[in-house]
């Protein structure tokens, strides 16, 4: 991973730049500065970041790896957390149940991918169908409300900085350190860069796949549980999180072809998306206009942020990339 730093600009720059531009625009439009906008963004962003981090791990595990079940698992996590929390009276048990549900759903994906050899996008689609069926069954005559204490904590923002955001920020740092400094992290990225080469170097690629998909499922369910505690559980709570999580990860600089994970970029992308929503609401754009602009902005960011020179060849080998491939293979042996 050290070689990635040779890039003149860190890959997460663009996402933060976009977020700052939107923030400045928001200040210009509203006519006043102030930290309220930032506080609000940091209250809502952590949920998207949690889902995004899971998606990032999956995507960096190699080409074709994607988890399209996050949205339904997110909703399922929310429903189960509130239901269990309501019955047992303990929000900790509720969160635990959500984590368990996420783990179970991700296990289905893992079994389908590794043992039935189904392409990840179809396997996780099947998982997503199963999760949505459970959610729909649960939601019938659903009763229960979020635990007031947990809800209070999620809304708690001392000095204008939400405490929950700090926790997720620390978790992001942890993921970052895990990817850069631990053997496990290097092995994971090695599998993402060149699976066969990594396997020859003694990395267990299967273990990596199990790890990333389970982590992604658990994070999505946990984020859903917390999001439901923040507002209210709902079958459609997670629907926006599928497209948003993928977009946020890629805008953040993570390579869709795998092998490069940028945890910081997930924050940049999430803040960009959430600030943008706020800005468009402020201007009073209709939901239709918001979507059109959001789409064009995503495309514009892609146009600017993509590394390829204009009129360059897709297939042209990138010398820097080759070095990346070589780097992590050495580590597991040493």
Site string for another protein, 60-79 (x = CB under 8 A): ----x-x-x-----------
- The CB-based long-range contact list for 160-169 (8 Å cut-off, 24+ gap) reads 160/35, 160/36, 160/38, 160/39, 161/39, 161/42, 162/39, 162/42, 162/43, 162/46, 164/43, 164/46, 164/226, 165/42, 165/43, 165/45, 165/46, 167/46, 168/46, 168/49, 168/50, 169/267
Task: Identify the residue among 163, 308, 320, 326 touching another protein (CB under 8 A).
Answer: 308
Instruction: Work out how close the CB of 195 gets to another protein at its nearest, in angstroms, rounded to a whole number.
Output: 14
- Token pair belonging to 60: 């960096």
Of positions 6, 143, 286, 334, contacts another protein by CB under 8 A: 286
Residue corresponding to tokens 């992001």 = 172
Q: Does 112 bind another protein (CB under 8 A)?
A: yes
- Residue pair 30/223 in contact by the 8 Å Cβ criterion: no
Determine if 281 is a binding residue for another protein (CB under 8 A).
Answer: no
**H, E, C per residue of 137-186:** HHHCCCCCCCCHHHHHHHHCCHHHCCHHHHHHHHHHHHHHHHHHHCHHHH
Decide if residue 321 touches another protein (CB under 8 A): no
* 173 counts as binding another protein under rule CB under 8 A: no
Q: Which is nearer to another protein, 150 or 275 (CB)?
A: 275
Of 274, 320, 204, the closest CA to residue 51 belongs to: 274
Q: Minimum Å distance from CB 31 to another protein?
A: 27
Q: Which of 56, 3, 13 is nearest to 256 (CA)?
A: 56
Q: Which is nearer to another protein, 226 or 298 (CB)?
A: 298
Pattern 226-245, another protein, x by CB under 8 A:
-----------------x--
- When asked if residue 293 is in the footprint of another protein (CB under 8 A), the reply is yes
69 φ, ψ to 5°?
Answer: -95, 0
319 binds another protein (CB under 8 A): no
Instruction: Tell me if 310 contacts another protein by CB under 8 A.
Output: yes
Alpha helices in the chain (DSSP H): 13-30, 36-59, 70-88, 91-114, 120-139, 148-155, 163-181, 183-193, 195-200, 205-230, 239-251, 263-283, 287-305, 319-333
The yes or no reply on residue 284 touching another protein (CB under 8 A) is no
Does residue 247 touch another protein according to CB under 8 A? yes
Least gap, CB of 323 to another protein (angstroms): 19
What distance in Å separates the CA atoms of residue 324 and residue 269, rounded to the nearest whole number?
Answer: 24
In the list 29, 177, 282, 292, the residue contacting another protein (rule: CB under 8 A) is: 292
Residue 88 CA to residue 81 CA, distance in Å, equals 11
Nearer to another protein (CB atom), residue 63 or residue 100: 63
Minimum Å gap between C-beta 108 and another protein is: 8
What is the pattern of x (binds another protein, CB under 8 A) and - over residues 131-170? -xxx-xx--x------------------------------
**Binder of another protein out of 307, 322, 323, 330 (CB under 8 A):** 307
Closer residue to another protein in complex, CB, 71/95: 71
Residues in contact with another protein by CB under 8 A are 64, 66, 68, 112, 116-119, 121-123, 125-130, 132-134, 136-137, 140, 243, 246-247, 250, 256-257, 286-296, 298-299, 302-303, 306-308, 310-315
């Amino acid at each position: 991973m050290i070689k990635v730093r040779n890039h003149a600009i860190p890959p997460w720059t663009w996402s933060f730049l976009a977020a700052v531009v939107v923030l400045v625009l928001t200040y210009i439009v509203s006519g006043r500065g102030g930290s309220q906008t930032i506080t609000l963004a940091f209250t809502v962003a952590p949920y998207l970041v949690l889902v995004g981090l899971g998606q990032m791990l999956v995507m960096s595990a190699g080409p074709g790896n994607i988890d399209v079940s996050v949205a339904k698992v997110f909703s399922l996590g929310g429903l189960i957390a509130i239901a269990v929390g309501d019955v047992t009276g303990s929000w900790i048990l509720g969160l635990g149940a959500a984590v368990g549900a996420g783990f179970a759903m991700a296990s289905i994906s893992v079994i389908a991918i590794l043992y039935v050899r189904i392409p990840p996008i179809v396997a996780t689609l099947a998982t997503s169908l199963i999760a949505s069926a459970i959610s729909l069954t649960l939601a019938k005559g659903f009763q229960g409300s979020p635990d007031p204490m947990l809800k209070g904590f999620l809304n708690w923002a001392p000095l204008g900085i939400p405490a929950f955001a700090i926790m997720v920020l620390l978790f992001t740092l942890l993921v970052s350190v895990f990817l850069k400094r631990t053997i496990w992290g290097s092995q994971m990225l090695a599998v993402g860069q060149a699976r066969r080469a990594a396997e020859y170097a003694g990395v267990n690629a299967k273990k990596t796949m199990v790890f990333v998909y389970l982590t992604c499922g658990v994070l999505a369910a946990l984020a859903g549980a917390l999001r439901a505690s923040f507002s209210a559980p709902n079958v459609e709570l997670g629907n926006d999180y599928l497209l948003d999580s993928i977009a946020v990860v890629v805008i953040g600089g993570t390579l869709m072809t795998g092998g490069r994970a940028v945890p910081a970029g997930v924050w940049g992308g999430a803040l960009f998306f959430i600030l943008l929503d706020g800005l468009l609401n402020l201007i009073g754009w209709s939901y239709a206009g918001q979507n059109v602009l959001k789409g064009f902005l995503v495309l514009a960011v892609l146009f600017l942020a993509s590394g390829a020179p204009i009129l360059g060849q897709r297939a042209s080998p990138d010398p820097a990339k080759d070095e990346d491939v070589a780097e992590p293979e050495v580590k597991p042996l040493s």
